[in-house]
Amino acid sequence: MPVNARWAVALSAGVLAGLAALVARGEPPPLDARLSVRGGSLPAAQRASAALARIPARFAPARVRLEQRPILGVECERETGSLLLGNSAVELPDSVWLHELAHVRMHGARPQAPLAQRVLTAFEEGVADHYAAVFSGSPRLGFGAEQRDLRQPPSLGPSDWASLAFPSFDPHRMGWGLAAALYAAEPRAGALLETALACLDGTGPLAEADTPARAISSLLASCPESGKQRMRDVLNDWLPPAFLNESSPP
Ligand SMILES: [Zn+2]
C-alpha cells in the first residue's frame, strides 16, 4: 500500500474513532463555522447549525449572526442579517429555521415606498417558502394555524392584490402562491431558486423603486441574465398585469 493511502486509512480510522467517542459520550457535533454566536441558548444554536448544514454552500448565507431577543420563535433582522432567537425557538420545525435562513441569505436593499416594498416582501416570502420546502424535503411548511402546503396554495384574485394598499396586507399568503409556482416548476434546489436568491441579495436598484411596477422591473434588472426569462414567466403567472408594465400607473 502506498504511503499516502496508508496515511488516509490511518487518518479516517482516527476520525471515525473520534466521532465514535463523541457519540459514545453523547456530545453534540461542533457548531457550523459560519455561525457567530452573540447570545442565546446552546440548543437553539445547535438547531441553527443543523439547519444551516442542510443547505448546499451556493444557496446558504455566508455568515449568520445569532442573537438572543425577547421574541417568540426565530426571525431574521433585515438590517443586520442576524438570526434572532427567542423563546421556544428550539421547538420550531426545520422548515421554520430554513425559511428564516433564506431571509438571512436575501437581506439586500429594499424600497422605502410602502407599495413597492410590500410587493417585494411578498416575493421574498414566496422564495423563502420555496427554499424551506426544497431543503426540508417537504412542501408542507410551518405548523398549526401558520402551516402552508405548497401543493394547495390559495387562489389569488384582484381583490387580494388590492390589499397591497393596506397595512393589513399579508405577504405570507401572497407569497404562498408564488412559492407553489416555484415548487411546481422546481421541487429540488436548482437554477430557478438560485436566480430568485440572486435577484434579492444584492445592493442593486431595488431600494429606489417607488411603485410596485418599478419594484418588479428593478427585481428583473437584478436577476442574472441566464435566469431572467424564466423568472419573468413565473412573475407573469403570479402578478396582475399592471405590475408587470413599468409604464402603467401602479
Ligand atoms: Zn418570512
What is the per-residue pLDDT across 128-174, written as a single tens digit (0 to 9) for each?
999 999 999 999 999 887 899 999 999 998 889 999 999 889 999 99
The four Cα atoms 190, 239, 166, 168 give a dihedral, to 10 degrees, of -40
Question: What is the spatial distance between Cα 38 and Cα 174, in angstroms, rounded to a whole number?
Answer: 34
Nearest to 51, CA basis, from 127, 135, 126, 150: 135
- Cα 38 to middle of ligand 1, angstroms: 22
Q: From 42, 74, 105, give the residue that closes a domain.
A: 105
Residues 82 and 101 in one domain: yes
Q: Please, which pLDDT band fits residue 193 given cuts at 50, 70 and 90?
A: very high
Residues 128 and 94 in one domain: no
Say how many C-beta atoms besides its own lie within 10 A of residue 188's C-beta: 10
- Cα 34 to middle of ligand 1, angstroms: 21
Element (DSSP H or E) covering residue 141: strand 140-141
- Cα 53 to middle of ligand 1, angstroms: 20
Share of the chain above pLDDT 70, in %: 87
The DSSP symbol for 156 reads -
- Cα 31 to middle of ligand 1, angstroms: 24
Phi, psi (degrees; rounded to nearest 5) at 229: -65, -40
Residues 120 and 211 in one domain: yes
Domain of 173? Answer: 114-244
Q: From 105, 125, 154, give the residue that closes a domain.
A: 105
Residues 88 and 176 in one domain: no
C-beta separation of 66 from 37 below 8 A: yes
> pTM score, two decimals?
0.86
Residue 248, pLDDT above cutoff 80: no
What average pLDDT does the segment 29-33 reach? 90
Residue 192 C-beta-side C-alpha neighbours within 13 Å: 23
- Cα 75 to middle of ligand 1, angstroms: 8
Q: Which residues of 134-165 are buried (b: 16+ CB within 10 A; e: fewer)?
A: bbbeebebbeeeeebebeebeebeeebbeebe
Question: What is the spatial distance between Cα 236 and Cα 66, in angstroms, rounded to a whole number?
Answer: 37
pLDDT at position 60:
97
Residues 130 and 220 in one domain: yes
Say how many C-beta atoms besides its own lie within 10 A of residue 77's C-beta: 15
Residues 200 and 182 in one domain: yes
Residues 96 and 195 in one domain: no
pLDDT at position 81:
87
Share of the chain above pLDDT 90, in %: 71
Number of domains the chain is built from: 2
- Cα 175 to middle of ligand 1, angstroms: 9
What pairing do the DSSP bridges indicate for beta strands 64-72 and 35-37? parallel
Q: Is 154 helix (H, G, I), strand (E, B) or coil?
A: coil
Say how many C-beta atoms besides its own lie within 10 A of residue 196's C-beta: 28
Residues 121 and 227 in one domain: yes
